[in-house]
Amino acid sequence: KVAVVTGANKGIGLAIVRELCKAKFTGDVILTARNEKLGNEAVKMLKSEGFEVAFHHLDICDQGSAKQLSNFLQKTYGGLDVLINNAGMAFKNDATETFGEQAEVTMRTNFWGTLWVCHALLPLLRPNARVVNVSSFVSKKALDTCSPQLQAKFRDTELSEEELCLLMGQFVIAAQQGNHQAQGWPNTAYGTTKIGVTVLSRIQANFLTKTRAADGILLNACCPGWV
């Protein structure tokens, strides 16, 4: 068996790797990170704590990088048992970048990056696999400040992945034009991207239920607060 945790050189991702090891996961635990130096340092630290962890490079913003990880997992393990999509980013409150730039960069990482990893790795899921997309409690707060029309779209259980992608793209364009709030969007780039992650998780879970009903695969989003 094999478990993969993205964005795991620090923070929640690192804690998840540590807890998987403490829980004596019956297989290999792979810590991935965009920065190879920081990723290997995290592995070294965990090994000094007595945990056996492997490192594999993954930049979720690079579809080629996700494909390389997919090829490695297929060749080495023949599949995937646990996937924790934790990698993400947020600008600091004192960031000097324009809101439009923050929206584009944050969306590319948190939403599109998560989507690309899922496209690369979900086909490898074995029966009884587990997937967790790490969203945020800010997604609920952001959803509550969307216009009623946008809230209805996001809550529509028939919303497709393609339609969700269009909505995420519309937010970035509105943010760059400076009229996102007038169009009913919340004034948070991070929160909006995490709405996308939460809704994407519902869409993916429904798809797995329909296409692999007998395989016992569970896919959920978790929405932690400050950590």
User: For the segment 178-193, what is each residue's pLDDT rounded down to a tens digit?
Assistant: 999 999 999 999 999 9
Q: How confident is the model at residue 227 (pLDDT cuts 50, 70, 90)?
A: confident
* pLDDT tens sequence across 129-177: 999 999 999 999 999 999 999 999 999 999 999 999 999 999 999 999 9
pLDDT value at position 130?
A: 98
User: In the chain, what are the helix, strand and coil shares in percent, each to the nearest 5?
Assistant: 55, 15, 30
Q: How confident is the model at residue 71 (pLDDT cuts 50, 70, 90)?
A: very high
pLDDT value at position 67?
A: 98
220 close to 205: Cβ distance less than 8 angstroms: yes
Instruction: Name all domains of the chain by residue range, CATH numbers in brackets.
Output: 59-222 (3.40.50.720)
Asked about 77 being catalytic, the answer comes back as no
Residue among 14, 190, 203, 208 flagged as catalytic: 190
Question: Are β-strands 80-85 and 2-5 bridged in parallel, bridged antiparallel, or unpaired?
Answer: parallel
* pLDDT tens sequence across 77-96: 999 999 999 999 999 999 99
180 close to 170: Cβ distance less than 8 angstroms: no
Question: Residue 3: is its pLDDT beyond 80?
Answer: yes
Q: Which whole-number Å values give the CA distances from 217 to 19, 128, 225, in the listed order?
A: 21, 5, 26
d(CA 216, CA 111): 26
pLDDT value at position 226?
A: 80
Angle value at C-alpha 138, between 132 and 141, nearest 5 degrees = 125
Q: How confident is the model at residue 225 (pLDDT cuts 50, 70, 90)?
A: confident
